[in-house]
C-alpha cells in the first residue's frame, strides 16, 4: 500500500513522517496543514499526497543538517535564478548629517549617490542619530535634515535601511567623529551616573544607556524604553510619506554600543586594544541590585559579580582566574552569572523590539537587529571576548541561537558583521575564528526560521574580502533548479568614501555588486523572488526564557562551500599574490 508522506516543519527544521503518525501529534501543538510549496491552508481531514505542516506559535527546533527551504514559493525557472539576487546596500558616512543637524554638502552627496546607482547598488544604510534629532530637549524632535536627505535618496532611485541610533558615535572602531547621546540625557547622568554602563573599576561609559534603566522612570518621567519608543513614533509620523512610498526597506533598531546588541565591553575610549578580552559591564547600581536579587531567588545570596579575577580590558584569557582553562566560568556560580548577564541582554532587546513592532505595525518594512562579530578568542575554551560582550557562547553551548529565537517572534532580521574576514588575517595568538563564527551565527538564524543579513566589519577594497562576503552570502552556491539553498537577505557594505570611489577600487566593487546580483541586471523589487517584504503584523507572544534557553544546545552548522559560487575575478597581481599568500599561511597556522 502506498503511504502518504508529509514533511513536518518547526521553524525551518523539517523531518519526513507518514500519515499514520498524524494521530501522535499533541492537540496543544496547534498544527496547520499546507500543501508543499503553497501558502494555501488545507482543511483538516484533507490529506494531500505530499504536504507540510507549519506550527503556529512558539517554535521547537528539531535536529537537522538539511538546509531549510527559505523560499517555499513555486517559481518559474527564470524566477528561480532571480531568487539568487542578493541586494547590496552601502552605508553612508557617519557625518552626513552634522552635529548641528544640517545635511553636509548635499550636491556632492548626490553625485556620489548617482555613482553608486551606476553600479546598480540597491540602496544605502544610514544612522539616524538620537543625539542629533532630540538634542534640544525631551520630545523636541527636529527631523528636517533627515527629511532633506531622504528626499535626495528617493530621487536617486535608491532604497534605505534606517538605523535607530540610540548610541554615541565615537569611541569605537572606525568612529571618525563625535556625536554624543542627547545633552539633556547626559546631564541626568551627571547627578546619577548609574544610568550608564559601568565596569568593575567604576568607570562609566556614556556611549549608551545601561539596560539597567530600561524600566526606570528617570528621564523626566519616562523610562529608557519609553524614550526609544517615542523617538521611533516621531520618526514614523515625520517620515510617513517615505514609508508609504516604499523608500525604507528596513528599520534596524539600535540595542547597544555601535547600535549592536551587546554590552560595551571593549571600548577604545577606555584603552582597549585588539585582541583584549574586554571587561564585564554590569556594575551600575541597577544591575548590581538585579543580580543580587536574582542570586537570592536561587538560594545563593552569597554569590557575587566577577571582580579582579575576570581581568582587565587587554588581558588574555590564560592570565585570569575567571577565563583560564579551569577558570571560574565553568563553576556553578560562574555559569549562573553568565546566564544572568546574557539573559538580561536578550530581554533588553526583546522589549525594545516589541515596542518597535507596535510602532511600525502596518508599515511594509522589516525590523532588524545587529549582532556583533566578536571573533577573537573564539578558539579559546572560554570564548572570553564573547562572554564579556554578553554572548554566552561555548563549545558546548550555543550563545546565538537563543537570540535568533527571540528575534523570530518579531519576524526580525539578524544582521551580522565580520563576513569579509578570514582566520589567517588575524594574529595566531588571538585564537580568532571569524569564518566559523559567521557560519555558526548564520546557521542559528536559519534554523530558527528568520532572515539573516550581513555587513563587513572593516573597510576593504580587495577581491579577497569581496569573495569571502560572496561565499557567506550564498554559502551553498547558486540555486539553478529550486529555491531551497541558503542565502542571506541582503548585504550592507561599509562604507561610502572617496577611497571606495577611486577608479580601481570602484571597478572591483562594481564587479562585486554584479556577482552579488548573480550576474543579473538590477531588480527593483528583488524581495518578491525570495521572501517578499510584507506589512508588519503584531509580534507573536513573548517566548519564556526557558524556551529560549532550549536553543543553547549546540548543533553542527550548515555546511558552507569552500569557495564562492561567482568570484570577483581580475588579473590584479597584488590581489592574486594576496590570496595565494593567505592560503599558504593558513596551511601552517
**pLDDT score recorded for residue 572:** 55
| C-alpha span between 114 and 135 (Å, rounded) | 31
| 514 annotated among ligand-binding-site residues | no
Region 9-35: mean pLDDT is: 35
Does the annotation count 455 as an active-site position? yes
**Residue of 165, 356, 341, 367 lying closest to 260 (CA atoms):** 165
**The pTM of the whole model exceeds 0.85:** yes
Q: How high is the mean pLDDT of the chain?
A: 88
| 20 annotated among ligand-binding-site residues | no
Higher-scoring residue by pLDDT: 567, 481: 567
Across 52-56, 99-103, 177-181, least confident range: 52-56
When pLDDT is cut at 50, 70 and 90, the band that residue 70 belongs to is: low
**pLDDT score recorded for residue 66:** 61
**pLDDT score recorded for residue 35:** 32
pLDDT in tens, 517-565: 999 999 999 999 999 999 999 999 999 999 999 999 999 999 999 999 9
| 127 annotated among ligand-binding-site residues | yes
Q: Which residues contact 326 (CB under 8 A, 6 or more apart)?
A: none
Across 168-172, 200-204, 244-248, least confident range: 168-172
Check 252, 260, 279, 555 and give the catalytic one: 260
| 370 annotated among ligand-binding-site residues | yes
| 517 annotated among ligand-binding-site residues | no
| 12 annotated among ligand-binding-site residues | no
| C-alpha span between 233 and 246 (Å, rounded) | 18
When pLDDT is cut at 50, 70 and 90, the band that residue 19 belongs to is: very low
**pLDDT score recorded for residue 577:** 59
**pLDDT score recorded for residue 208:** 98
Check 207, 279, 355, 455 and give the catalytic one: 455
For 198-264, give the DSSP string. E-TT--EEEEEE-GGGTT---BTTB-HHHHHHHHHHHHHHHTHHHHHTT-EEEEEEP-SGGGBSS--
Q: Where are the beta strands (DSSP E) in 288-403?
A: 366-371
pLDDT in tens, 394-434: 999 999 999 999 999 999 999 999 999 999 999 999 999 99
| 465 annotated among ligand-binding-site residues | no
**pLDDT score recorded for residue 37:** 34
pLDDT in tens, 71-82: 555 566 667 789
| C-alpha span between 287 and 282 (Å, rounded) | 6
Report the percentage of the chain scoring pLDDT > 90: 80
Output the nine-digit C-alpha cell for 44. Answer: 483538516
Does the annotation count 260 as an active-site position? yes
| 380 annotated among ligand-binding-site residues | no
Amino acid at each position: 500500500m502506498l503511504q502518504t508522506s508529509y514533511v513536518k516543519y518547526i521553524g525551518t527544521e523539517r523531518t519526513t513522517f507518514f500519515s499514520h503518525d498524524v494521530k501522535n501529534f499533541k492537540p496543544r501543538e496547534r498544527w496547520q496543514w499546507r500543501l508543499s510549496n503553497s501558502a494555501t491552508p488545507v482543511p483538516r481531514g484533507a490529506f494531500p499526497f505530499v504536504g507540510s505542516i507549519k506550527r503556529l506559535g512558539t517554535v521547537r527546533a528539531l535536529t537537522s543538517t538539511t538546509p531549510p527551504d527559505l523560499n517555499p514559493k513555486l517559481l518559474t525557472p527564470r524566477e528561480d535564478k532571480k531568487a539568487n539576487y542578493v541586494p547590496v546596500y552601502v552605508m553612508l558616512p557617519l557625518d552626513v548629517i552634522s552635529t548641528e543637524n544640517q545635511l553636509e554638502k548635499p550636491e556632492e552627496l548626490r553625485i556620489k549617490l548617482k555613482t553608486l546607482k551606476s553600479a546598480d547598488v540597491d540602496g544605502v544604510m544610514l544612522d539616524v542619530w538620537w543625539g542629533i534629532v532630540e538634542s534640544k530637549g525631551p520630545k523636541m524632535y527636529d527631523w528636517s535634515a533627515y527629511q532633506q536627505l531622504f528626499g535626495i535618496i528617493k530621487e536617486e532611485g535608491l532604497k534605505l535601511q534606517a538605523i535607530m541610533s540610540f548610541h554615541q558615535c565615537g569611541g569605537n572602531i572606525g568612529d571618525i567623529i563625535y556625536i554624543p547621546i542627547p545633552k539633556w540625557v547626559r546631564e541626568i547622568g551627571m547627578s546619577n551616573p548609574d544610568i550608564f554602563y559601568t565596569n568593575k573599576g567604576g568607570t562609566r561609559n556614556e556611549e549608551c544607556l545601561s539596560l539597567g534603566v530600561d524600566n526606570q522612570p528617570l528621564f523626566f518621567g519616562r523610562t529608557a524604553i519609553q524614550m526609544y519608543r517615542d523617538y521611533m513614533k516621531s520618526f514614523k509620523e515625520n517620515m510617513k510619506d517615505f514609508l508609504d512610498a516604499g523608500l525604507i526597506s528596513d528599520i534596524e533598531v539600535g540595542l547597544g554600543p555601535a547600535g549592536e546588541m551587546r554590552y560595551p565591553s571593549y571600548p577604545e575610549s577606555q584603552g582597549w586594544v585588539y585582541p583584549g578580552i574586554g571587561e564585564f559591564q554590569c556594575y551600575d547600581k541597577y544591575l548590581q541590585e538585579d543580580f543580587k536579587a536574582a542570586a537570592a531567588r536561587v538560594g545563593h545570596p552569597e554569590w557575587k559579580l566577577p571582580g579582579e579575577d575576570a581581568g582587565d580590558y587587554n588581558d588574555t584569557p590564560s592570565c585570569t582566574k575567571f577565563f583560564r582553562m579551569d577558570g571560574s566560568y565553568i563553576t556553578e556560580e560562574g555559569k549562573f552569572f553568565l546566564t544572568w548577564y546574557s539573559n538580561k541582554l536578550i530581554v533588553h532587546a526583546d522589549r525594545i523590539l516589541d515596542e518597535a513592532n507596535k510602532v511600525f505595525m502596518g508599515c511594509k518594512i522589516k525590523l532588524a537587529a545587529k549582532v556583533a562579530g566578536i571573533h577573537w578568542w573564539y578558539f579559546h575554551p572560554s570564548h572570553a571576548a564573547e562572554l564579556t560582550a554578553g554572548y554566552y557562547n561555548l563549545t558546548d553551548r550555543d550563545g546565538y541561537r537563543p537570540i535568533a529565537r527571540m528575534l523570530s517572534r518579531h519576524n526580525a532580521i539578524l544582521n551580522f558583521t565580520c563576513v569579509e574576514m578570514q582566520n589567517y588575517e588575524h594574529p595566531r595568538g588571538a585564537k580568532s575564528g571569524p569564518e566559523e563564527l559567521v557560519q555558526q551565527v548564520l546557521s542559528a538564524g536559519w534554523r530558527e526560521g528568520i532572515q539573516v543579513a550581513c555587513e563587513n566589519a572593516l573597510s576593504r577594497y580587495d577581491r579577497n574580502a569581496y569573495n569571502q562576503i560572496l561565499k557567506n552570502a550564498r554559502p551553498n552556491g547558486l540555486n539553478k533548479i529550486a529555491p531551497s539553498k541558503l542565502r542571506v537577505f541582503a548585504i550592507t557594505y561599509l562604507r561610502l568614501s572617496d577611497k571606495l570611489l577611486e577608479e580601481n577600487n570602484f571597478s572591483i566593487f562594481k564587479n562585486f555588486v554584479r556577482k552579488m546580483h548573480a550576474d543579473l541586471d538590477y531588480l527593483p523589487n528583488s524581495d518578491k523572488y525570495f521572501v517578499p517584504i510584507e506589512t508588519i503584523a503584531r509580534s507573536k507572544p513573548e517566548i519564556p526564557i526557558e524556551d529560549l534557553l532550549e536553543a543553547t544546545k549546540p548543533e553542527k552548522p550548515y555546511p558552507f562551500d569552500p569557495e564562492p559560487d561567482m568570484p570577483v575575478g581580475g588579473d590584479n597581481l597584488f590581489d592574486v599574490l594576496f590570496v595565494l599568500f593567505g592560503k599558504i599561511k593558513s596551511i601552517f597556522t
